[in-house]
Structures are given as structure tokens and as C-alpha cells.
Amino acid sequence: MEYANHLKEYAPAMSEAQVAEEMDRIRKAAVRNHTPEVYKLCYSAVDLTTLSCTDSVESVTEFAGKAVKFYRQFPHLPNVASICIYPPFVETVGVVVDGTDMRITSVAGGFPSSQTFLEVKVLEVAMSVRNGAAEMGYEEIDIVLNVGKMLEGHYDEVANEVEVIRAEMSPEVVLKVIIESGALKTPDLIRKASLLSMFAGADFVKTSTGKIDVSATPEAAVVMCQAIRDYYRKTGRKVGFKPAGGVRSAEDAALYYTIVEEILGKEWLTPELFRIGASSAANNLLTAIEGREVKFF
């Protein structure tokens, strides 16, 4: 399908100066959201992540098991939204979290570089879905946009890859597309990548893999949320937003919460439309909520 022409239906991206001005405004507004209630919502939106070369069945089982123990040790708090892992551990996590509300997020499709054959990407996604819990409606897949082709301007190829991968999963599987905003750099490319992902069927657009030098930035989040807003106004379809990589403190989480609140509105501030990819942020959010140091994970 031709997607590049649809970009012309949307206004161009803000300039870097305009984005910086908008961020100044939002940073000031974010102070009001340094509250336990906001931190609780942010914690409930966390995709608790382990994506290490040292991951094993044993370590991932222990990791997911801590999240399950959270229900007993913090019964007064909402738990994280999902456990995010590499494809071979989908079934492992499924066994551990069975019977809970937590979803399973698997990176796939040549994560983190997306530099492999499309057929390999499709197969990896299909295997991850098949080995997971898609039939029970709580599996999610995070893939990476083809950044190299995006930088070369091959926009139809970029979007068609997403479309082909989306076709490999049932509608109840949530597809998050990582645009790797730190590699795209400019507001123009970040906006185009976000729109192309949504055109092709993304349920979420996500900032980063966390595997390159520049991960999530508030400036990229502003551009992406504006793209989500404009896409919704034109189509009526709500797409979620996920910052990931470099979100460490409770204040970081509250800033992204405020960006979503200011640009998309409070209706986006649920785990169905707002996620935070994090590991260390989970303990820091718990510490801010409880008012004492918490090292649970």
C-alpha cells in the first residue's frame, strides 16, 4: 500500500525552537504532577523490562516472580502493566504471571536494530505470538521501525514492513512500534515515522529501544504526542504512547505523564493508552509513592 502520500494530509512538524518553547511550558506544568497519585498511575503503566544478553529462563522466572509477589506485598497499589522480555521467554513469563492482570510484552522483529530480512522479522513475531498468550488477549509485541530506510526516505517501504508484521497477529494483540527517535533526531522525521507507524496499524508508538546513546527525550515525546493527536482527529482511532529508555526517576515519569496530559488529554492517561518502558524507574516510583526507600526489584 502507498502510505507516503498520506503524510501530505497532515501539517508539518513544529520547528526545534517551537518544540523547545512547548517543552518549557510543559516542564513548568509538570510540577503539579509530583504527587503520589500521579506516581501510582505511572507505576501502573510500566512495562517492567529485562532485555539483557545474560537473561535466562532462571533469571527471567525470578524477575517475573517478583512482579507477582508485588500483589501480596503491596496490596494497596496497582501493579505494573506488563513484563517485557525477549521472544524465547514469552512462555516462561506466561507460566509465572498466569492468573494475574499483567500482560506479556515481547520485543520481536529483529529487535533492537531491525536489520534483518523481513521474512525473519515476520517469523520471529509469529513465533512469539504462537508461543505466548495471544489467544487469551494479553500479549503485546514491540517492534522497531526500519530506521535505515526511514533515513533514506523510503517511507512506503517502512510502513509496508509494519503492515506485513501487523498482519501476522490477531487484532487483540497490541502492536507497539519503536521509531528510535534518538536516531531520527529531527522533529520532521520523528513526526513522519510516528504517522507512518499509525497508518500501518500500530496500536502504540514508542520512542526508543534503550539500546543507542540517545533514548527517550521529552522533546521527541512532544512531537510524537502531537502526531497521535492529529491522527486521532482525522481518523477517530486512539493510538497509545510509550516513552522508553532513560526514564529513571519518578519526576521523569511525571514529566512524560504531563506531556500526554497537556497534548492528548487525561483520557489517554490509562495503561491502555500510556506505557513507560522501565526497569530502575519502578523502584524509584515505589519510593516516591511510599515515602521511604523501596528496593523491591
Q: Residue 214, SS3?
A: coil
Main-chain dihedrals φ then ψ at residue 159, nearest 5 degrees = -70, -35
Q: Are 81 and 275 in contact (CB under 8 A)?
A: yes
Residue with cell 520471529: 124
Amino acid at 87: P
Q: Say what the pLDDT of residue 287 is.
A: 97
Q: How far apart are CA 201 and CA 6, in angstroms?
A: 14
The predicted model scores a pTM of: 0.96
Q: What is the mean pLDDT of each run of 10 residues along the chain (297 residues)?
A: 93 98 98 98 98 97 97 97 95 93 95 97 93 62 98 98 94 96 98 98 97 95 98 98 96 98 98 94 97 95
In Å, how far are 10, 72, 145, 157 from 151, measured between CA atoms?
A: 20, 47, 11, 12
Q: Say what the pLDDT of residue 131 is.
A: 75
Q: Say what the pLDDT of residue 280 is.
A: 85
Peptide bond into 36 cis (omega under 30): no
DSSP code string of 70-132: HHHH-TTSPPPSEEEE-GGGHHHHHHHHTTSS-EEEEE-SSTTTT-S-HHHHHHHHHHHHHHT
User: What is the spatial order of strands in the sheet that 204-206 belongs to?
Assistant: 240-242, 204-206, 174-178, 139-144, 103-107, 82-85, 46-49, 276-278
In Å, how far are 175, 207, 214 from 185, measured between CA atoms?
A: 23, 11, 9
The residues carrying an active-site annotation are: 142, 206, 242
Contacts of 9 (CB under 8 A, 6+ apart): 234
Beta strands in 120-261 (DSSP E): 139-144, 174-178, 204-206, 240-242
Q: Are 111 and 143 in contact (CB under 8 A)?
A: yes
Among 107, 108, 124, 104, smallest CA distance to 64 is for: 104
